[in-house]
Amino acid sequence: MIRHTKSAAVPSSLGRGVQANEDNCTAYDTAAADYRSGARSFDIRKGIYGTDVVKRQLKADQHDKCAFCEAIFDANVAGDVEHYRPKGAVDTDAGRIYPGYYWLGYTWENLCYACPDCNSYRKRNWFPLENEANRALDHHADITLEQPLLLDAYGQRNPREHIVFRGEAATGLTAAGDATIDILALGRTTLARERLQHLRTLTLVHESVSLFDGDPRPEAIAFLQRARAELAAAILPGARFSAATADHLAALDAGENFLPASAA
């Protein structure tokens, strides 16, 4: 997971969301107890927050990658516009809290683009805090008092300071790093397998650079140049699994390889 910069321009469809957010706040104040009990719930409309224009902008801001796992996945499945703070309910270890962060349902700052595996199967309504007592339970509360354990790709905190990779394996450096890995299952089998394969290929490129370094043949010099460019591109923000790749290549440079031994 890496930090992204969100476009300052709010996508046009969220213009309707300003009023919709306000309407939901008004509705809450007329029947707060019902919303808190779950007897009433808000209909946060995908037709406003999840439109093509919102999705396109988020995808561009995130280089087409999932905000959480850094996979480029949309060749096979469509991604979703996801709410960082859950819009409909919050699941905690102590149980479900209603009605969720309804007042941020159409708020640009609360949206990101994620793969179905991270979003629909892992994150869902989980949003743990360091101190549950600080949770904003309605729009009258101050969310800046919260210390979320889930990292935000668009937040103040740099995810790279909370999660490191040893080979293809993600490791938490902080409570937020640990919680984020846990909530999203960043070590899940299918994802780790794809990351591993990617890192193995780059390991070969890295080895070939060492092998051909100093070789005077013109074709070796040209090859070295291409191989070095390939490695440099693999850690750019637009590259898939760029955090894991950067940590792995740094380890290789230091003479360490944390990938499991290849079966081949």
Q: How far apart are CA 220 and CA 256, in angstroms?
A: 25
In the complex, what is the shortest distance from the CB of residue 73 to Zn ion, in angstroms, rounded to a whole number?
Answer: 7
- Check the CA dihedral 134-138-140-144 and report its sign: positive
In the complex, what is the shortest distance from the CB of residue 160 to Zn ion, in angstroms, rounded to a whole number?
Answer: 17
Nearest 10 degrees: Cα torsion 171, 177, 179, 181: -50
In the complex, what is the shortest distance from the CB of residue 249 to Zn ion, in angstroms, rounded to a whole number?
Answer: 22
Q: Which residues are registered as beta bridge partners of 83?
A: 111
Task: Show the tokens assigned to 198.
Answer: 């990617």
Whichever of 66 and 244 has its CB closer to Zn ion, that residue is 66
Whichever of 149 and 183 has its CB closer to Zn ion, that residue is 183
Q: How far apart are CA 51 and CA 57, in angstroms?
A: 10
Contacts 24+ apart (CB under 8 A), 9-13: 9/57, 10/108, 11/51, 11/53, 11/54, 11/56, 11/57, 11/108, 12/53, 13/48, 13/49, 13/51, 13/53, 13/54
In the complex, what is the shortest distance from the CB of residue 71 to Zn ion, in angstroms, rounded to a whole number?
Answer: 5
- Applying CB under 5 A, the residues found at the interface with Zn ion are 66, 68-69, 115, 118
Whichever of 57 and 62 has its CB closer to Zn ion, that residue is 62
Task: Show the tokens assigned to 193.
Answer: 């397998």
What single string gives the DSSP state of each residue in 61-81? HTTTS-TTT----TTTS--EE
Whichever of 44 and 191 has its CB closer to Zn ion, that residue is 191
> Residue 172 carries which DSSP code?
E
Residue 242 sits at φ, ψ, to 5 deg, of -65, -30
In the complex, what is the shortest distance from the CB of residue 69 to Zn ion, in angstroms, rounded to a whole number?
Answer: 3
Whichever of 48 and 118 has its CB closer to Zn ion, that residue is 118
Whichever of 71 and 97 has its CB closer to Zn ion, that residue is 71
In the complex, what is the shortest distance from the CB of residue 203 to Zn ion, in angstroms, rounded to a whole number?
Answer: 23
